[in-house]
């Protein structure tokens, strides 16, 4: 059995020895040219002139291109065609590409790009959420509003009511491998592009448009990325298009990679949000009504902001049954980098909003926040073997029939909710009650160091909300020696997708995973791929590969059955053997026999996620195939004199269904938690009043290091099979664990709250400065 085994990452040895090949490591021809952008240093204004004579005269420069020099499309937007590769008559943020330098070396291109004399008439930029609201700068004519029940009426009759607001900052992706691309001209004007991208088909499409070709003339290959986190879903378009245009113009291979400072100045970040709430609740902390307003700062171009903001709305409930709710979402346009996809894709912002509400309600009632959360959970569901729909159980709450529909704010029934059982298990294994008492005792006797402990759950919907993206293809070959070669539409960015898919193929054929090789993702082998995003990589591509493998298996079985006068259904593939009518032969022999009998040993596979429907305008439908769930307990300590803080311990129980690879899944959970905690603690993006990003390098932007992870870090899998019919009943595990880091922020809030009677109203990120301010608010 190859699935459910904790096998190491397929490229682990190459990673640790430095032999894993990334785009920048690909050997290039001697005549390869190198590219760099000349960037705007004004956030908003009209371009009056560009004097590029010094740039053209710089050593090693071969060509300099401006927007008017581009042969076809000047467009690298993934959505609204509002993002030109090179600025035309206006600039929209500091760091926007204005011109393109083509030179004989990377250093020569970078040096020359700084020599442009650009005259821009500066205008007042719109930089903040408040700025955008003041001038009504937005991407849609009006905010999007979803409503369930009668929130105004329920708010008016609630026994208790409070209001609040939380600001949460953006986040830099900080992938270890920066953005990079290499374009190699082919005969007949065709183009081969190597790109560090999560979305090869989008690169193919954009490059084809840019050089005036159809998509079949462009082939995009991606062996691996050194991290992506959503930052390579659309942000790689500019580099790939620039390289292809330059290669098309010069006939020479062209390569481009951003230095880290340029990468951070040019590319988009996580959307920062402001979420305000008006909530009504009863004496037990049960939420009776809530009115959310979500404000998203989207930057200068639309990019993926609409679906990101939609998903924040879709996760405004997190794990809680909210009968009367309104969510209003504003997508605001500013003169900053275009915010883009980031792990969780807006979901974390929505989840943090409702978790703040639960924390605030618990403080107002002087209740343990765990009690408030549990009383508001969705009704539980029993797991049912065999894949039939889970059966809703009787709700533990005394609720009206109106609230017993157990549906989300977008009216999707929740039938697979397991957080009741998971929470109970985690609170026991983490010794939550005793530790909470110990934390309170500590805080009562220690005036300087204060501790906090907090629990938070996550319920995360799995599927692309743009329904047609929920599809995948695969190509599988079995060679006559029994070795297996496959390609699929997913991309490997360090998450172990290739290993999981290899395990699926090996299990399908009943052979050891060492017989399976997955080569680079290639648009010439698998067309029309969806981005490796939305935690869908294993779900979609695993099913597509299984489909292709089953076709080949059926052909081999039919061939052998004819010889042995048996039914194909009697032929079994297991332990490297093929069994038929009491005869056992090695899989390699079966492959050779099928080949010699002229049986095709190559097949394509395809999968589309079933049972999806979604109307984003009305906010109704079934946007997700299923929910992945998890829970975490974090303990922290705060120095009240400096604001310095540490995560002391984290206990996590995460729902991975029947894990395809427990080792890889636990690694994703650990990394997701640390990255989520980093977003809410140390990672602060700062723009000055001119719109210049000041935190644009490792020296000024603080991601969590190994020393920042908790010393005690317990992670376990809740391994109940997924009731939805996914590949081997597994569940997605890429994005959901990110939100478990919210428990660290909640624990910091408790520590700050121990300094006084008032609610500390801790904002995010909870830097040392913000922690001190929250302590001051708790004091009153």
Catalytic residue IDs: 735
Cα dihedral 199, 12, 181, 220 in deg (nearest 10): -50
Are 297 and 336 contacting, i.e. CB atoms less than 8 angstroms apart? Answer: yes
Beta strands in 687-760, from DSSP E residues, in sequence order: 712-718
Element spanning 542, H or E: helix 537-564
* DSSP sequence for 176-210: SS--EEEEEE-GGG-EEEEE--S-HHHHHHHHHHH
- Whole-number Å distance between alpha carbons of 752 and 776: 9
Provide the CB-side half-sphere exposure for 163 (13 A, CA).
5
Name the one residue in this structure whose structure tokens are 């205008």: 123
- CA separation for the pair 675, 175 (Å, rounded): 11
Nearest to 382 by CA among 702, 721, 673: 721
- Which candidate, 81, 293, 314, 278, places its Cα nearest to that of 164? 278
SS3 320: strand
Tokens at 756, concatenated: 């006084």
Per the omega criterion (within 30 degrees of 0), is the bond before 765 cis? Answer: yes
Q: How far apart are the C-alpha atoms of 494 and 514, rounded to whole Å?
A: 19
Tell me the two tokens of residue 186. 């082919």
How far apart CA 597 and CA 556 sit, in angstroms, is 10
Q: 645-655 and 712-718: which strand pairing?
A: parallel
Listed in sequence order, the residues at least 6 apart from 663 whose beta carbon sits closer than 8 Å to its beta carbon are 6, 7, 8
């Amino acid at each position: 059995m190859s699935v459910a085994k904790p096998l190491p990452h397929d490229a682990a040895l190459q990673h640790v020895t430095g032999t894993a090949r990334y785009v920048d490591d690909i050997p290039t021809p001697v005549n390869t040219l190198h590219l760099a952008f000349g960037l705007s240093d004004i956030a908003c204004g009209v371009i009056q002139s560009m004097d590029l004579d010094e740039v053209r005269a710089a050593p090693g420069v071969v060509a300099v291109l401006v927007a008017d020099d581009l042969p076809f499309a000047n467009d690298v937007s993934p959505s609204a065609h509002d993002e030109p590769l090179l600025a035309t008559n206006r600039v929209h943020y500091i760091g926007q590409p204005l011109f393109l330098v083509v030179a004989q070396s990377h250093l020569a291109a970078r040096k020359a790009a700084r020599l442009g004399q650009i005259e821009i008439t500066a205008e007042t930029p719109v930089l903040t959420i408040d700025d955008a609201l003041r001038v009504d700068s937005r991407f849609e004519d009006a905010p999007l509003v979803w409503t369930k029940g009668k929130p105004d009426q329920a708010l008016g009759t609630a026994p208790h009511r409070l209001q609040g607001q939380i600001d949460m900052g953006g986040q830099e992706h900080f992938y270890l491998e920066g953005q990079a691309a290499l374009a190699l001209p082919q005969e007949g004007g065709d183009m081969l592009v190597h790109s560090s991208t999560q979305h090869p088909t989008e690169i193919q499409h954009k490059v084809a448009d840019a050089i005036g070709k159809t998509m079949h003339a462009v082939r995009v290959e991606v062996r691996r990325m050194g991290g992506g986190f959503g930052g390579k879903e659309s942000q790689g378009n500019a580099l790939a298009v620039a390289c292809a245009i330059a290669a098309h113009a010069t006939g020479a291979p062209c390569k481009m990679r951003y230095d880290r400072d340029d990468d951070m100045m040019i590319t988009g970040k996580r959307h920062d949000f402001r979420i305000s709430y008006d909530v009504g609740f009863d004496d037990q902390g049960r939420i009776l009504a809530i009115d959310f307003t979500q404000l998203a700062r989207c930057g200068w171009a639309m990019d993926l902001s609409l679906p990101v903001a939609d998903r924040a709305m879709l996760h405004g409930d997190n794990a809680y049954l909210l009968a009367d709710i309104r969510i209003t979402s504003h997508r605001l346009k500013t003169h900053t980098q275009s915010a883009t996809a980031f792990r969780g894709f807006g979901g974390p912002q929505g989840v943090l909003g409702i978790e703040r509400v639960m924390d605030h309600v618990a403080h107002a009632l002087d209740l343990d926040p765990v009690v408030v959360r549990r009383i508001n959970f969705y009704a539980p569901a029993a797991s049912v073997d065999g894949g039939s729909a889970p059966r809703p159980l009787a709700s533990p709450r005394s609720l009206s029939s109106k609230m017993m529909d157990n549906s989300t704010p977008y009216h999707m029934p929740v039938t697979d909710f397991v957080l009741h059982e998971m929470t109970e298990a985690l609170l026991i294994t983490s010794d939550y009650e005793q530790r909470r008492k110990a934390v309170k005792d500590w805080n009562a006797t220690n005036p300087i160091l204060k501790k906090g402990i907090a629990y938070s759950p996550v319920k995360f919907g799995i599927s692309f909300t743009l329904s047609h993206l929920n599809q995948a293809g695969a190509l599988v070959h079995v060679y006559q020696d029994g070795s297996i070669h496959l390609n699929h539409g997913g991309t490997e960015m360090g998450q172990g997708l290739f290993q999981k898919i290899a395990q699926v193929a090996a299990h399908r054929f009943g052979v050891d995973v060492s017989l399976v090789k997955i080569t680079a993702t290639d648009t010439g082998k698998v067309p029309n791929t969806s981005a490796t995003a939305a935690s869908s990589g294993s779900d979609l591509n695993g099913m597509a590969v299984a489909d292709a493998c089953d076709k080949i298996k059926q052909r081999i079985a039919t061939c052998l059955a004819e010889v042995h006068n048996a039914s194909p259904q009697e032929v079994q593939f297991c332990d490297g053997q093929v069994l038929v009518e009491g005869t056992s032969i090695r899989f390699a022999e079966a492959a050779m026999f099928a080949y010699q009998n002229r049986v095709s040993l190559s097949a394509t596979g395809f999968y589309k996620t079933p049972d999806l429907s979604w109307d984003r305008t009305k906010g109704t439908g079934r946007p997700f195939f299923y929910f992945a769930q998890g829970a975490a307990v974090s303990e922290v300590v705060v120095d009240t004199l400096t604001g310095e803080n540490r995560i002391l311990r984290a206990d996590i129980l995460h729902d991975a269904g029947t894990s395809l690879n427990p080792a890889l899944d636990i690694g994703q959970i650990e990394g997701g938690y640390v990255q989520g905690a980093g977003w809410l603690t140390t990672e602060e993006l700062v723009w000055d009043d001119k719109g210049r990003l000041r935190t644009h390098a490792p020296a000024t932007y603080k991601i969590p290091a190994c020393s920042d992870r908790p010393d005690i870090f317990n992670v376990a899998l809740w391994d109940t099979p997924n009731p939805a019919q996914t590949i081997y009943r597994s569940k997605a595990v890429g994005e959901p664990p990110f939100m478990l880091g919210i428990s660290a922020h909640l624990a910091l809030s408790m520590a700050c709250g121990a300094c006084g009677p008032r609610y500390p109203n801790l904002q995010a990120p909870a830097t040392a400065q913000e922690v001190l301010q929250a302590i001051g608010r708790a004091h009153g």
